[in-house]
């Protein structure tokens, strides 16, 4: 049975591109209340910590605590800004499907919302992570282009052995867990951080993680952790600069990456522009290390 056929049992109306109708009317009051609780919690921590482009996106897209957004209405506002739309999916979709959506400027967002007992941590992306975490940055023209470039890069990387792993690391350390330079230090733009209260505080203020100036090859050589706060964050100077990196010859880069070292999540190397060297002392819920692909 294919992945799509398996999903069809729970989602009879799933399409070939893994999209489903959002059925906004079907959200319960309890589900809207979960959105509201998460939204209000983040509004308390993000001013002064999230970058201004993220906060501007929230305002431009009329994102508000009262209700889970209706994707059609949200997409109309987003499309007017950058040409992107948001489509509903069950949760994680296969890599090729994900890349095809991004390359077409469609962001696949989980339809479900976490249960109240999962407020602080979920394994699969829900509507709060996907819409609150990812969509505001898609209202920023440079970032919108960067995400599409990632989708196109992914389509090509699928054909090249090993390249997907390198590209997925870039996504992880930018789109999901990226920081950007600010006059007073660094601000958050990564969706995995902005959608988590605890990691928003940790990423900006904790002395525990390394904060290292972004370098494309360095990031593509660095494994990541999926089960705990990041040990290293990579700090970009600007979204213009990040987008410019995607115009590099990735085929030559992948060939180079096939040789040479792979770094562990907490490593610091000689060539790094180190902004803060982590103490690694604060390890919330630290369990055994687990990283990508394990």
d(CA 86, CA 131): 8
Span from 87-95, 114-122, 218-226, 233-241 in contact with ligand HBI (CB under 6 A): 87-95
Q: Give yes or no for residue 125 binding ligand HBI (CB under 6 A).
A: yes
Task: Identify the three-state secondary structure at position 109.
Answer: strand
Q: Which of residues 197-256 bind Fe ion (CB under 5 A)?
A: none
Q: Verify binding: residue 89, ligand HBI, rule CB under 6 A.
A: yes
Could you give the CA distance from residue 103 to residue 100 in angstroms, rounded to a whole number? 5
Among residues 91 and 257, whose Cβ is nearest to Fe ion? 91
Distances (CA, A) of 140 to 10, 135, 158, 220: 35, 10, 27, 24
Task: Give the DSSP per-residue string, 63-86.
Answer: --SSSPPPHHHHHHHHHHHHS-EE
Residue number, 138 or 206, with CB nearest to ligand HBI: 138
Closest to Fe ion by CB, 191 vs 222, is 191
By CB under 6 A, tell whether 4 contacts ligand HBI: no
Work out whether 98 is an interface residue with ligand HBI (CB under 6 A). yes
Which CB, 189 or 208, lies closer to ligand HBI?
A: 189
Applying CB under 6 A, the span of 93-101, 111-119, 236-244, 276-284 interacting with ligand HBI comes to 93-101
What is the spatial distance between Cα 208 and Cα 277, in angstroms, rounded to a whole number?
8
Which of 113, 168, 236, 257 forms a contact with ligand HBI (CB under 6 A)?
Answer: 168
Q: Which residue is nearest to Fe ion (CB)?
A: 191
Cβ–Cβ under 8 Å, residues 109 and 22: no
User: What letter would DSSP give residue 225?
Assistant: B
Query: Minimum distance from CB of 268 to ligand HBI (Å)?
Result: 25
Query: Shortest Cβ distance from residue 125 to ligand HBI (Å)?
Result: 5
**Segment near Fe ion (CB under 5 A), from 1-9, 27-35, 62-70, 188-196?**
188-196
Q: Encode burial over 217-243: b for 16+ CB neighbours within 10 A, e otherwise.
A: ebbbbbbbbeebbbbbbbbbeebeebb
Q: How far is the CB of 259 from ligand HBI (least distance, A)?
A: 22
Would you count residue 122 as binding ligand HBI (CB under 6 A)? no
What torsion, rounded to 10 degrees, do the Cα atoms 82, 85, 91, 95 define? -70
* Binding residues vs ligand HBI (CB under 6 A): 89, 92-93, 95, 98, 108, 125, 168, 171
């Amino acid at each position: 049975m294919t992945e799509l056929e398996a999903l069809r049992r729970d989602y009879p109306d799933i399409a070939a591109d893994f999209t489903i109708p959002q059925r906004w009317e079907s959200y319960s009051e309890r589900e809207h209340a979960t959105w509201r609780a998460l939204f209000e919690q983040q509004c308390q921590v993000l001013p002064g910590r999230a970058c201004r482009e993220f906060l501007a996106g929230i305002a431009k897209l009329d994102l508000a605590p009262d209700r889970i957004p209706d994707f059609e209405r949200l997409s109309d506002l987003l499309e007017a800004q950058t040409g992107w739309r948001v489509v509903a999916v069950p949760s994680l979709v296969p890599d090729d499907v994900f890349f095809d959506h991004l390359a077409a400027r469609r962001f696949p967002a989980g339809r479900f919302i976490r249960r109240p007992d999962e407020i602080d941590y979920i394994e699969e992306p829900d509507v709060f992570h996907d819409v609150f975490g990812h969509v505001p940055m898609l209202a920023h023209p440079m970032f919108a282009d960067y995400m599409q470039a990632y989708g196109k890069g992914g389509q090509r990387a699928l054909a090249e052995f090993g390249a997907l792993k390198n590209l997925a690391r870039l996504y992880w350390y930018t789109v999901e867990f990226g920081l950007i330079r600010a006059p007073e230090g660094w601000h958050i733009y990564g969706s995995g951080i902005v959608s988590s209260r605890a990691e928003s505080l940790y990423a900006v203020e904790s002395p525990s993680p390394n904060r290292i100036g972004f370098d494309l090859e360095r990031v593509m050589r660095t494994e990541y952790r999926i089960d705990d706060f990041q040990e290293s964050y990579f700090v970009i100077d600007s979204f213009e600069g990040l987008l410019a990196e995607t115009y590099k010859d990735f085929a030559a880069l992948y060939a180079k990456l096939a040789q040479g070292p792979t770094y562990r999540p907490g490593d610091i190397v000689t060539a790094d522009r180190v902004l803060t060297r982590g103490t690694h002392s604060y390890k919330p819920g630290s369990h055994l290390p687990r990283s990508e692909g394990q």
